[in-house]
Amino acid sequence: MKRKPASGTFRNTERSKQKFLSAVEKILKTKGYAGLKVNYIAQLAGVDKKMIYNYFGSLDGLIDEYIATQDFWSNIAADMAHTPINDGGKEFSKEIFLSQYDYLSKNKELQKVLLWRLSEERKSLRKLTDEQEESGERLFSQITDPHFGEHAEKFRAVSAVLVAGIYYLNMYAEHNGSVFSGIDLKTDDGRNAVKEAVTFLIDKTYDGLTADSQSNTTIEKTI
């Protein structure tokens, strides 16, 4: 049976789009974000540069789509959100932070995107930040805020410190050396020590803030 021409056209379009996305990835690996120019991307992809505008609308549109394929929150955190929650999100929080730590360690291109975001103002990078905030807000408002109540902002602050540490330690190990605070971040022992610290901090945060909430509730009932 003959395939419909539209089906073949769709496959060709998807292949061409993937070539552009692969070209962006190769450039980030070899030249960094400064090398992301329309002509060079098209040359490396072997596809007419006009197709960048046809498929993605602009260079920023192409970069937006590439970033979306790499970002942890877009690709993993959303799936994890379907995990049943019955402990105020403690185990879920451990899973998501530890997964983020491992994911970023393996994804050198995402590391470069994050470094790029710190050094240059760009719409596509602003969009990444906004989307990450939206994903985080959904997780906070649906899972941890109801559990911590008046202490919800404290847990958000702890989460901010953990995410920042995860970002920094991974990028430090990749670009500035492997030893930080006497821990070799490129060894299994070193990385496991960091992951154990993340678990410890989440446990202590949940224990401390939950105890505070229960204490305040008891006081209110007594009064």
- Whose structure tokens read 């006081």? 219
Query: In the chain, what are the domain boundaries?
Result: 5-58, 71-222
- The neighbouring-strand residues paired with 180 are 183
pTM of the model: 0.77
Question: Alpha-carbon distance 104 to 60, whole Å?
Answer: 23
- Give residue-wise pLDDT tens across range 133-180: 888 888 899 899 999 999 999 999 999 999 999 999 999 998 877 899
- Kindly state the tokens that stand for 102: 């491992």
- Give residue-wise pLDDT tens across range 39-70: 999 999 999 999 999 999 999 889 888 888 88
Per CATH, the number for 5-58 is: 1.10.10.60
Contact between 143 and 89 (Cβ < 8 Å):
yes
Q: Three-class SS of residue 57? A: coil
Number of neighbouring beta carbons within 10 Å of residue 180? 15
